[in-house]
Amino acid sequence: MAIAKGVKDALSSSSMIRKMFEEGNLLRKRYGADKVFDFSLGNPDIEPPPAFHQVFLRFAQDDAAGRSKGVHGYMSNPGFPAVREALAKKASREQGVMLEGSHIILAVGAAGGLNVVFKTILNSGDEVLTSRPYFMEYKGYTANHGGVLREVDSLPDFNLDLDGIRNRLNEKTAAVLINSPHNPTGRVYPAATLHALAEILEAHGKKTGRWPFLVADEPYREIVYIPGGTPPLLSVYRNSISVTSYSKSLSLPGERIGYIAVNPGIQDEEDLLNGLIYATRILGYINAPALMQRIVAELTEESVDVRVYARRRDAFKEVLDKAGIPYAEPQGAFYLFCQVPPKKGGSNTVGDDGAFVDHLKQHLILGVPGSGFGKPGWVRFAYCVDETVIRTAGEAFKKAMETWA
C-alpha cells in the first residue's frame, strides 16, 4: 500500500537541515569527530542553567519520597493551572499585555504549538503568509491542516516587506506567520515594522470583514544581541498569538516544552481558547510533559548565558571575514546566513548554494543550502557549537575558498 501522496511529495523536498546533519554523522564516522566542522543543525549545546538541575533534582526527590501525589498523571489538556498562571506573568512582562492563566496553553514545543494553532484556525484552502527565507517545516505544518503557505520575499536587509504582504492579502488569508529573532537570518523585526504590519492587517480586516491572525514563532525571543531585546507582538495587534518554547532559552530542545500565549483581546476569544485545547487533545499530544511543566514554571527568570553565543558569533564572523564570505549581521538567534561568494574570476553572479555546500563538504565543513529555506544563493551556518570548533574551522574555510573556482 502506497503512503499518502502529500507525505510522499514532501519527502522529496524534506528538511535539508536534517539531511546535512545525517551527512555529518557519516563524515564523523569516516574521518573522526574532531576533523569535521558541523554547523548544520541548530541544536543548542550550552547546558541548561544550574537552576534547572536544582529544580529537577528537588522534584525527583519529592516524588521519590512520596511528597508529590498524582503529578505524573493526566491533567487538564492546556496544562497545570499554577503553571499557566506563572507563564502568564512571564508572557505579560515580555508582551506588554495583561495575560491570565487562561490565555496560556502548554504545548509540546513550539512545533507542537504551531500545529495546534493551525489546526484550530485553518479551514481547507486557507492561506498563511510568511516571509522568505523561512523555516521550511512551516510548509508542512500548514499543509497538515488543509492550509497553503504563501511566501513573500523579504527586503534586502531581511526585514519584512510590508508592501509585499499587503499585496498578497486576500479573502483566503487566515494568518500571517512571522519569526523573530529569525531563522535563518538572525533578523529581529523592529517595533516600527510590527506596528506597521498591524495597521495593514487592521485595514484589511475592515475592508474584507476577515481579520487575519498574526502568529509569531518565538523560540529565539531571549537569544538576542541588540539593545531593547525582541519587541513585543501581542501589544500591537489584537488578533495575535505567540508560540514559544524552552528549546533555546533554557537549552531543552529534547524535552519538548513550550506554550501558546493568546492576546486577551482576540476575536472570539472563548471559542479560540477552547479550540486550542481541543486541538491539543485530538492531535494526540493530550498535554505537554508534566514534569517539564512544573520545572519551567519555577524558571521564569532563568536563561542560558547569551554572551556565550555572542562570543561565538563574533568568532565566526572573524573566520568568514578572513575567508571572504559575506553574511547578514545576526541580531539574534545563533545562525549566520551567508551569501555564496562568486567563484574566482567572477564566473557566477547568483551563486549556486548546492554546489558551494558540496564544495565545503570536501573540506569537512557542513552548512545548509539557502534553498532549504526558500532562498537560493545563500548558506546557513549554526554557531551553537564550541568556540574552539569555530576557530579551528578557519583554516578549512580558507582552503575551501582558495579552491572555489
Residue 30 confidence (pLDDT) above 90: no
C-alpha 113: how far from its chain's center? 12
Least reliable range by pLDDT among 19-23, 202-206, 282-286: 19-23
99: left (phi over 0), alpha (psi -120 to 50) or beta: beta
DSSP, res 4: P
For residue 137, the model assigns a pLDDT of 95
Quick one: pLDDT band at residue 350, thresholds 50, 70, 90?
low
Query: Which grid cell sits at 20?
Result: 546535512
Q: Comparing 24 with 361, which gets the higher pLDDT? A: 361
**Fold match between 5-48+305-402 and 70-297?**
no
Segment 236-257 shows an average pLDDT of 98
For residue 28, the model assigns a pLDDT of 80
For residue 222, the model assigns a pLDDT of 97
5-48+305-402 has CATH 3.50.50.60 classification: no
The structural domains of the chain, with segments of one domain joined by +, span 5-48+305-402, 70-297
Cα distance between residue 252 and residue 53, in whole Å: 12
Quick one: pLDDT band at residue 347, thresholds 50, 70, 90?
low
110 contacts 247 by C-beta, under 8 angstroms: yes
70-297 has CATH 3.40.640.10 classification: yes
Cα distance between residue 165 and residue 154, in whole Å: 9
| pLDDT > 70 in the chain, percent | 97
For residue 66, the model assigns a pLDDT of 84
Segment 318-344 shows an average pLDDT of 96
Quick one: pLDDT band at residue 351, thresholds 50, 70, 90?
confident
Q: What separation in angstroms does the CA of 168 have from each of 53, 62, 226?
A: 47, 54, 31
Segment 272-294 shows an average pLDDT of 98
For residue 4, the model assigns a pLDDT of 84
Residue 15 confidence (pLDDT) above 70: no
For residue 3, the model assigns a pLDDT of 84
For residue 316, the model assigns a pLDDT of 98
Query: Which grid cell sits at 215?
Result: 502568529
Most confident of 22-26, 71-75, 141-145: 141-145
**Predicted confidence (pLDDT) per residue in 383-400, tens digit:** 999 999 999 999 999 999
Quick one: pLDDT band at residue 346, thresholds 50, 70, 90?
low
For residue 254, the model assigns a pLDDT of 96
**Predicted confidence (pLDDT) per residue in 33-91, tens digit:** 788 999 998 899 999 999 999 999 999 999 888 888 888 999 999 999 999 999 999 99
Residue 349 confidence (pLDDT) above 60: no
**Predicted confidence (pLDDT) per residue in 149-202, tens digit:** 999 999 999 999 999 999 999 999 999 999 999 999 999 999 999 999 999 999
| CB half-sphere exposure, 145, CA atoms < 13 A | 22
For residue 202, give every residue at least 6 positions away whose Cβ sits within 8 Å of its Cβ, in sequence order, or none. 211, 237
Positive or negative, the CA dihedral 262, 265, 267, 272 is positive
For residue 9, the model assigns a pLDDT of 73
Measured CA angle at 180 (ends 175, 185), to 5 deg = 115
Q: Quote the mean pLDDT of the chain.
A: 94
For residues 318, 189, 42, 36, the Cα torsion angle rounded to the nearest 10 degrees is: -20
